[in-house]
C-alpha cells in the first residue's frame, strides 16, 4: 500500500513539474506570436535609437547585468562598459546602422527569447580616419523583466557576410 501511495505522489509531482504554471497555480499558455511581435517592436525602437544617436534609449535596452560583445572590442558586462561602447558608436559622425532579425525564437516558458539577424553599418575607421562600411550578424538573448518588458541580457555582434535567407519550402 505504501508503494502505491508513494508512486501516486511521485506521479503527481512529475505531472506538476511538466505543467507551465503561473503564480497562484493557474495554467499559463505563452503567446509566442505576441512575444515575437514585442521583440520585433523592441528591435525597431533600438534601430531608431541608434540612428537617432540616442545613447539613453540604447542603454535602456539592456538588463542591468546585460553583456555586449562588439567586434574587436572587449566583452562588457556592466552599465558603464556598455554605455562607453554605445557612446563610442553614436558619437562617431560617420555612424549609420541598419539591422533586421532573420529569426526570433521564444522559449516555451515565455521568459527568454533570442533574435538573430544581420546588419550593415558605416563608421569611422580608426586607422584611416575615413568612413568605412561593415556588415555581419548578431545574436541577442532577451529576458522578460518583472515589469513585463524585454531587455537584452546577451548581445553578440560578429562581422562578416550576412547570413543568407533560408530557402523557401517547396511543396
pLDDT digits (tens, 9 = 90+) for 75-117: 999 999 999 999 999 999 999 999 999 999 999 999 999 999 9
User: Domain for residue 52, yes or no?
Assistant: yes
Q: Is residue 23 part of a domain?
A: no
Residue 14 lies in a domain: no
What mean pLDDT do residues 28-56 have?
Answer: 94
Q: Tell me which residue range forms the domain holding 50.
A: 31-159
Residue 167 is predicted with a pLDDT of 58
Domain contains 19: no
What's the domain count of the chain?
1
The secondary structure of the chain as a DSSP string is -HHHHHHHHHHHHHHHHHS-B-GGG-B----HHHHHHHHHHHHHHHHHHHHTT-HHHHHTTEEEEEEEE-TTS--B-SHHHHHHHHHHHHT-TT-EEEEEEEEEEE-TTSSEEEEEEEEEEEEE-TTT-SEEEEEEEEEEEEEE-TTS-EEEEEEEEEESSPPPPPPPP--
CATH of the domain at 113: 3.10.450.50
Q: At 20, is the pLDDT very low, low, confident or very high (cuts 50, 70, 90)? A: very low
The reported pLDDT for the residue numbered 14 is 31
Asked if the model's pLDDT at residue 7 lies above 80, the reply is no
Predicted pLDDT at 97: 95
Return the closest-CA partner of residue 151 out of 65, 51, 30.
Answer: 65
Counting residues of the chain whose pLDDT is more than 90, the rounded percentage is 73
Q: pTM for this one?
A: 0.78
Amino acid at each position: 500500500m505504501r508503494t502505491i501511495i508513494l508512486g501516486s505522489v511521485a506521479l503527481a509531482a512529475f505531472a506538476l513539474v511538466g505543467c507551465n504554471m503561473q503564480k497562484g497555480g493557474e495554467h499559463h499558455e505563452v503567446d509566442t506570436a505576441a512575444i515575437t511581435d514585442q521583440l520585433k517592436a523592441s528591435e525597431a525602437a533600438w534601430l531608431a535609437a541608434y540612428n537617432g544617436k540616442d545613447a539613453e534609449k540604447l542603454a535602456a535596452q539592456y538588463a542591468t547585468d546585460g553583456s555586449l560583445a562588439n567586434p574587436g572590442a572587449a566583452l562588457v558586462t556592466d552599465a558603464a562598459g556598455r554605455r562607453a561602447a554605445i557612446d563610442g558608436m553614436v558619437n562617431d559622425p560617420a555612424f549609420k546602422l541598419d539591422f533586421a532579425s532573420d529569426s526570433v525564437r521564444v522559449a516555451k516558458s515565455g521568459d527568454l527569447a533570442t533574435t538573430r539577424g544581420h546588419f550593415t553599418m558605416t563608421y569611422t575607421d580608426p586607422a584611416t580616419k575615413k568612413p568605412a562600411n561593415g556588415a555581419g550578424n548578431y545574436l541577442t538573448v532577451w529576458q522578460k523583466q518583472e515589469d513585463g518588458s524585454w531587455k537584452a541580457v546577451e548581445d553578440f555582434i560578429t562581422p562578416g557576410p550576412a547570413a543568407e535567407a533560408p530557402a523557401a519550402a517547396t511543396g
